[in-house]
């Protein structure tokens, strides 16, 4: 069976080719990074790769099976994105209602039930206290939002030790590459942290599940 790490390394280029061919005939044209993030999230959440069994699928080739899976995920992703069209994401350079970041801005799996600013504050506090430096920095860069989710002195120190990039260089890089709504793209995080591109999403998803989703769900279950 192909595991998630192998999939992100060996099949990203296949998914990218499929994606750009798919959006040629569709009026819905998201960025590839956003779609790729969604696919990895869904594969992790649903343990999708374990469902490919050659005997069960009449010896279908993996890419044939993957083609069908991607089509389904693309349709789901379109519905999910259009569901939030009405939210009216506030651009970074405009004021936002105090204490409010929509679920669209924190688009990780299973935390769509953020119900109040206190819930959001709880999640942001978890992010700030992720003990693994690399995991914490990647999560912050993916969700970076000025005034809410930002890098701390410890984060800058870790990045400088890893890459020799100073705080000023990092801040300038983030300003230049920050997406309109929130966060950096995988390509930009790869460049900033000098990492292999295929490992960004794998690391991110594992960190989100371990440090955010599981503690959050335990909190909700006990409340």
| 125 shares its domain with 73 | no
The pLDDT assigned to 89 comes to 31
Instruction: Report pTM.
Output: 0.56
Q: How many CA atoms lie within 13 A of 85 on its CB side?
A: 7
Look at the chain and report how many structural domains it folds into.
2
The pLDDT assigned to 60 comes to 58
Mean pLDDT of 153-182: 92
Structural domain for 54, as ranges:
4-83
Q: For the chain, what percent of residues have pLDDT higher than 70?
A: 77
Q: Which of 80-84, 108-112, 165-169 has the lowest mean pLDDT?
A: 108-112
pLDDT band at 49 (very low <50, low <70, confident <90, very high): confident
Contacts by 169-172 with C-beta closer than 8 Å and gap 24+? none
Domain presence at residue 168: yes
Q: pLDDT tens, 53-106?
A: 765 544 458 888 899 999 999 998 888 776 544 333 333 333 444 333 333 444
pLDDT band at 161 (very low <50, low <70, confident <90, very high): very high
Domain presence at residue 90: no
Please tell me which residue, 182 or 39, carries the higher pLDDT value: 39
Q: What is the mean pLDDT of the chain?
A: 77
Distance, CA of 76 to CA of 145 (rounded, Å): 26
Please tell me which residue, 84 or 138, carries the higher pLDDT value: 138
| 64 shares its domain with 155 | no
Domain presence at residue 9: yes
Give the contacts of 135 (CB within 8 A, at least 6 positions apart).
203, 206, 207, 210, 211
Please tell me which residue, 207 or 95, carries the higher pLDDT value: 207
Domain termination residue (choose one: 32, 60, 83): 83
User: What is the signed CA dihedral for 160, 149, 200, 39, rounded to 10 degrees?
Assistant: -170
Domain presence at residue 208: yes
Cβ 112 vs Cβ 163: under 8 Å: no
- Confidence check: pLDDT of 20 > 80: yes
Cβ 149 vs Cβ 124: under 8 Å: yes
| 60 shares its domain with 142 | no
Question: Which tokens sit at 28?
Answer: 């819905």
Specify which residues 149 forms β-bridges with: 145
| 79 shares its domain with 121 | no
Domain presence at residue 99: no
| 55 shares its domain with 121 | no
The pLDDT assigned to 151 comes to 95
| 68 shares its domain with 145 | no
Domain presence at residue 102: no
Q: For the chain, what percent of residues have pLDDT higher than 90?
A: 30
Domain presence at residue 183: yes
| 133 shares its domain with 78 | no
In the chain, what is the greatest distance between 2 CA atoms, to the nearest angstrom? 56
């Amino acid at each position: 069976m192909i595991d998630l790490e192998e999939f992100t390394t060996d099949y990203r280029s296949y998914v990218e080719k499929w994606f750009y061919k798919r959006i040629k005939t569709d009026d819905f044209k998201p960025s590839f990074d956003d779609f790729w993030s969604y696919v990895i999230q869904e594969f992790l959440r649903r343990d999708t790769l374990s469902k490919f069994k050659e005997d069960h699928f009449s010896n279908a080739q993996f890419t044939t099976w993957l083609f069908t899976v991607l089509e389904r995920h693309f349709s789901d992703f379109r519905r999910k994105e259009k569901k939030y069209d009405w939210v009216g994401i506030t651009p970074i350079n405009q004021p936002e209602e105090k204490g409010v970041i929509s679920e669209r801005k924190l688009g990780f799996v299973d935390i769509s039930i953020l119900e109040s600013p206190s819930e959001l504050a709880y999640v942001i506090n978890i992010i700030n206290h992720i003990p693994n430096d690399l995991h914490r920095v990647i999560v912050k860069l993916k969700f970076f939002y000025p005034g809410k989710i930002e890098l701390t002195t410890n984060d800058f120190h870790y990045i400088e030790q890893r890459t020799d990039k100073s705080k000023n260089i990092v801040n300038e890089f983030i300003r230049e590459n920050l997406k309109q709504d929130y966060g950096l793209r995988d390509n930009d995080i790869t460049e900033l942290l000098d990492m292999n591109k295929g490992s960004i999403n794998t690391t991110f998803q594992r960190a989100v599940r371990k440090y955010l989703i599981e503690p959050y769900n335990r909190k909700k279950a006990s409340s």
